Amino acid sequence: MRLAVYGKGGIGKSTTSCNISVALARRGKKVLQIGCDPKHDSTFTLTGYLIPTIIDTLQEKDFHYEDIWPEDVIYKGYGGVDCVEAGGPPAGAGCGGYVVGETVKLLKELNAFDEYDVILFDVLGDVVCGGFAAPLNYADYALIVTDNGFDALFAANRIAASVREKARTHPLRLAGLIGNRTSKRDLIDKYIETVPMPVLEVLPLIEDIRVSRVKGKTLFEMTETEAALSYVCDYYLNIADQILALPEGVVPKDAADRDLFALLSDFYLNPQQPPATVDAEPDLMMV
């Protein structure tokens, strides 16, 4: 199974990806996580450091694939999750999609691409071009990480549009949304009324999720010394179980930008008021 995880930049996508990867490994699966962001920090909470990237390794070997071994690019992370960082082109030059393509090409050359039960692509947050949508070419399911905010749901809608487009030519489905660190889900619910899609999980505002990123540890690793955090891991295990159940998924019908803007703006500007209560025994009107 191949998963592509998307979401607005800074939404906690990589932290979510790492914990889902460990959850899948806890369910007995052999997992490879591929970071597809030029800042190459997707797997940081799995390894505790920034591992070398595939694109840098290829450049060092003058793109001689035959001179590269699996141990040159695949690093062992927490919980037995294997980790790869694709890297990226120099700032302002090149295409992220090219780097993803070279990464998949190399892993296939190493016979590594087909040795895993689950391969998870953690992709740069905001899909603005075909290059950043490239991992969808290899995925069975897309997952979208969002919060209950305006900007994150706009990004989610753009990602939904990318899934719809790729599904025309690839066996791709959207498994669903994951709400991350949000105290409410009313705006998420408003969005999925217009663009129907499953919601796999909504994680509440848990400060330790943010702290885990700073510590370079998954929630599962933190639980080894802080047992009280085990309930947080259950959220990720629930997501893993839903994915492993091979959901039917959806091909989303994204909303037009102007329609979505109007929908979300109206939600903020004209919040729904609770219905007025009616007295059981209203006073009689004086005539």
82: β partners? 32, 76
Contact present, 88 and 82 (Cβ < 8 Å): no
pLDDT value at residue 103: 87
Q: Is 184 a catalytic residue?
A: no
Q: CA–CA separation, 46 vs 221, rounded Å?
A: 9
**Out of 39, 61, 215, 253, which one is annotated catalytic?**
39
* Two structure tokens written together for 179: 């709400």
pTM assigned to the model: 0.90
Contact present, 80 and 56 (Cβ < 8 Å): no
**Out of 8, 29, 166, 217, which one is annotated catalytic?**
8
Q: CA–CA separation, 203 vs 18, rounded Å?
A: 15
Contact present, 132 and 96 (Cβ < 8 Å): yes
Ranges under pLDDT 50 in the chain: 278, 280-287
**What is the CA angle 248-249-251, rounded to 5?**
125
Q: CA–CA separation, 35 vs 83, rounded Å?
A: 8
pLDDT value at residue 145: 97
What is the Cα Rg of the chain in Å? 21
pLDDT value at residue 78: 98
pLDDT digit string (tens) for 169-198?
A: 999 999 999 999 898 999 999 999 999 999
Contact present, 8 and 68 (Cβ < 8 Å): no
Q: Is 8 a catalytic residue?
A: yes
Q: Please name the residues in contact with 216: beta carbons below 8 A apart, sequence gap of 6 or more.
A: 44, 45, 47, 48, 49
**Out of 13, 29, 166, 217, which one is annotated catalytic?**
13
Q: Which helix (H) or strand (E) holds 6?
A: strand 2-7
Q: Is 140 a catalytic residue?
A: no
**Out of 37, 122, 126, 140, which one is annotated catalytic?**
126
Q: Is 126 a catalytic residue?
A: yes
Q: Please name the residues in contact with 132: beta carbons below 8 A apart, sequence gap of 6 or more.
A: 96, 97, 123, 124, 126
Angle formed by the axes of helices 150-166 and 186-194, nearest 10°: 30
pLDDT value at residue 274: 54
pLDDT value at residue 126: 65
